[in-house]
Amino acid sequence: MLDSLGTDLSRGLSSREIPLKKKLFGENQLKEFRTTPPLAIFLNQFKDTITLVLLGATLISAYLGEIADAVAITAIVILNGIMGFVQEYRTEKSLQALREMTAPTARVLRDGKITVIPARDVVPGDVVILESGDIVPADGELFEAENLKIDESVLTGESVPVEKSAESRDQEGLKIHRSNLVFMGTMVVSGRGKMLVTQIGMGTEMGKIAGMIEEIEEEQTPLQKRLDHLGKQLVVICLAICVIVALLGVIRGENLYDMFLFGVSLAVAAIPEGLPAVVTMVLTLGVQRMVKKNVLIRKLTAVETLGCATVICSDKTGTLTENKMTVRKIYVDDGILTVTGSGYRLEGDFVTQDGRLLRDLPHGLKKLLEISVSCNNAELTEPKAGLLGKFLKSREVIPSGDPTEAALLVAAAKANILKSDVEKAYRRIKEIPFDSERKCMSVLVKSRRGELFLFTKGAVDVVLGLCDGIEVNGKLKEITDADKKKIIEINEDMGREALRVLAFAYKKVNLAQTSDTNLERNLIFVGLIGMIDPPRPEAKVAVEKCFSAGIRPVMITGDHRATALAVARELNITSEGGKILTGQELDDMSETDFLNCVDDVSVYARVTPKHKLRIVRALKKKGHVVAMTGDGVNDAPAVKEADIGISMGRNGTDVTKEASAMILMDDNFASIVAAVEEGRIIYDNIRKFIRYLLSCNTGEVLTMLWASLLGLPIPLLPIQVLWMNLMTDGLPAIALGADPPEKDVMSRKPRQKNESIFSRGMGRRIFYRGFLISLATIAAYLISNHYGHGDLSFARTVAFCTLIVSQLIFSFECRSESAAVWEQNPFSNLYLTLAVVCSAAMLFGVVYIPELQAIFRTVPLNEEVWLLILALAGLGAVL
Ligand code: ATP
Which of 190, 312, 432, 436, when mutated, tests ligand 1's pocket best, judged by the most ligand atoms within 8 Å of its CB? 436
Q: What is the mean pLDDT of residues 763-772?
A: 92
Q: How far is the CA of 608 from the centre of ligand 1 (A)?
A: 10
User: pLDDT value at position 13?
Assistant: 87
Q: Which atom of ligand 1 is nearest to the CA of 631?
A: 4
Cβ neighbours of 859 (radius 10 Å): 16
Specify the residue with its C-alpha closest to ligand 1, atom 13.
558
Q: How far is the CA of 165 from the centre of ligand 1 (A)?
A: 27
Q: Which amino acid is at 715?
A: P
Which of 317, 324, 409, 443, when mutated, tests ligand 1's pocket best, judged by the most ligand atoms within 8 Å of its CB? 317
Q: What is the mean pLDDT of residues 684-706?
A: 90
Half-sphere exposure of 283 (CA within 13 A, CB side): 26
User: pLDDT value at position 250?
Assistant: 87
User: pLDDT value at position 462?
Assistant: 94
Q: Which amino acid is at 422?
A: V
pLDDT at 65 over 80: no
Q: What is the mean pLDDT of residues 442-454?
A: 93
User: pLDDT value at position 3?
Assistant: 54
Q: Which atom of ligand 1 is nearest to the CA of 608?
A: 11
The helix or strand, by DSSP H or E, that contains position 326, with its residue range, turns out to be strand 326-332
At 827, is the secondary structure helix, strand, or coil?
Answer: coil
Asked if 622 and 641 touch (Cβ cutoff 8 Å), the reply is no
Q: How far is CA 435 from CA 115, 190, 439, 459, in A?
A: 24, 8, 6, 11
CA distance 110 to 94: 31
For the stretch 136-146, what's the b/e string if a residue is b when 16 or more beta carbons lie within 10 angstroms of its beta carbon?
Answer: bbbbbbbbbbb
What pLDDT digit, counting tens, does each position of 242-282 carry?
Answer: 888 888 888 888 888 778 878 888 887 787 766 777 788 88
Specify the residue with its C-alpha closest to ligand 1, atom 2.
557
Q: Which atom of ligand 1 is nearest to the CA of 459?
A: 20
Q: What is the mean pLDDT of residues 133-137?
A: 88
Closest CA to 412 of 460, 346, 474: 346
pLDDT at 1 over 60: no
Longest dimension (CA), the chain: 115
Return the minimum-mean-pLDDT range out of 113-117, 264-268, 761-765: 264-268
Specify the residue with its C-alpha closest to ligand 1, atom 19.
459
Q: Which amino acid is at 566?
A: A
Bridge partners of 776?
A: none
Specify the residue with its C-alpha closest to ligand 1, atom 5.
558
Cβ neighbours of 547 (radius 10 Å): 12
Would you place residue 215 in the very low, low, confident or very high pLDDT band (cuts 50, 70, 90)? very low
Q: Indicate the pTM of the whole model.
A: 0.81
Q: How far is the CA of 501 from the centre of ligand 1 (A)?
A: 9
User: pLDDT value at position 331?
Assistant: 97
Q: Which atom of ligand 1 is nearest to the CA of 316?
A: 3
* Domain 241-290+675-741+756-878, CATH number (from 1.10.3210.10, 1.20.1110.10, 1.10.10.60, 3.40.50.2300): 1.20.1110.10
Q: What is the mean pLDDT of residues 726-755?
A: 86
Q: What is the mean pLDDT of residues 661-673?
A: 91
What pLDDT digit, counting tens, does each position of 807-818 carry?
Answer: 999 999 998 877
For the stretch 81-112, what's the b/e string if a residue is b when 16 or more beta carbons lie within 10 angstroms of its beta carbon?
Answer: bebbbebbeebbebbeebeebbeebbbbbbee
Put residue 767 in one of left, alpha, beta given phi > 0 → left and psi -120 to 50 → alpha.
Answer: alpha
Q: How far is the CA of 420 from the centre of ligand 1 (A)?
A: 25
Strands (E) in 251-325, as ranges, are: 295-297, 311-315
- Transcribe 752-803 into DSSP letters: PTT--TTTTTHHHHHHHHHHHHHHHHHHHHHHHHHHTTT-HHHHHHHHHHHH
Q: How far is the CA of 437 from the centre of ligand 1 (A)?
A: 9
Put residue 147 in one of left, alpha, beta given phi > 0 → left and psi -120 to 50 → alpha.
Answer: left
User: pLDDT value at position 379?
Assistant: 87
* Domain 326-532, CATH number (from 1.10.620.20, 3.40.1110.10, 3.40.50.300, 2.30.40.10): 3.40.1110.10
pLDDT above 90 as % of the chain: 41
What pLDDT digit, counting tens, does each position of 473-491 carry?
Answer: 989 999 999 999 999 999 9
User: pLDDT value at position 350?
Assistant: 93
Specify the residue with its C-alpha closest to ligand 1, atom 4.
317
Asked if 648 and 629 touch (Cβ cutoff 8 Å), the reply is yes
Q: Which atom of ligand 1 is nearest to the CA of 375?
A: 28
CA distance 262 to 57: 10
Q: How far is the CA of 458 from the centre of ligand 1 (A)?
A: 8
What pLDDT digit, counting tens, does each position of 785-844 carry?
Answer: 888 777 889 999 999 999 999 999 999 999 887 777 777 777 888 989 999 999 999 999
435 or 799: which carries more pLDDT confidence? 799
Task: Please state whether beta strands 440-447 and 452-459 pair in parallel, antiparallel, or not at all (unpaired).
Answer: antiparallel
**Ligand 1 cavity residues, CB under 6 Å:** 315-317, 402, 404-405, 434, 436, 439-441, 457-459, 500, 502, 557-559
Q: How far is the CA of 559 from the centre of ligand 1 (A)?
A: 6
Dihedral (CA of 128, 133, 138, 143) sign: positive
* Domain 295-321+536-664, CATH number (from 3.40.50.1000, 3.40.50.300, 3.40.190.10, 3.60.20.10): 3.40.50.1000
User: pLDDT value at position 588?
Assistant: 93
Domain residue extents for the chain: 18-32+96-209, 241-290+675-741+756-878, 295-321+536-664, 326-532
Specify the residue with its C-alpha closest to ligand 1, atom 20.
459
Q: What is the mean pLDDT of residues 17-35?
A: 79
Specify the residue with its C-alpha closest to ligand 1, atom 30.
458
Q: What is the mean pLDDT of residues 432-442?
A: 87
pLDDT at 619 over 90: yes
Return the minimum-mean-pLDDT range out of 359-373, 508-522, 621-635: 508-522
* Domain 18-32+96-209, CATH number (from 3.40.50.11810, 2.70.150.10, 3.40.190.10, 2.60.120.10): 2.70.150.10
Q: Which atom of ligand 1 is nearest to the CA of 564?
A: 3
User: pLDDT value at position 632?
Assistant: 79
Q: Which of the 8 DSSP states describes residue 660? A: -
Closest CA to 401 of 672, 107, 189, 670: 107
Closest CA to 463 of 496, 441, 432: 441
What pLDDT digit, counting tens, does each position of 156-212 carry?
Answer: 767 678 888 887 655 444 444 578 889 988 888 888 899 999 988 888 887 776 655
Specify the residue with its C-alpha closest to ligand 1, atom 11.
436
CA distance 736 to 733: 5
Q: Which of the 8 DSSP states describes residue 97? A: H
Q: Which atom of ligand 1 is nearest to the CA of 563?
A: 18
Q: How far is the CA of 535 from the centre of ligand 1 (A)?
A: 16
Return the minimum-mean-pLDDT range out of 26-40, 46-60, 377-391, 501-515: 377-391
CA distance 756 to 769: 19
Catalytic residues: 315
Which of 320, 439, 612, when mutated, tests ligand 1's pocket best, judged by the most ligand atoms within 8 Å of its CB? 439
- Transcribe 489-510 into DSSP letters: HHHHHHHHTTEEEEEEEEEEE-
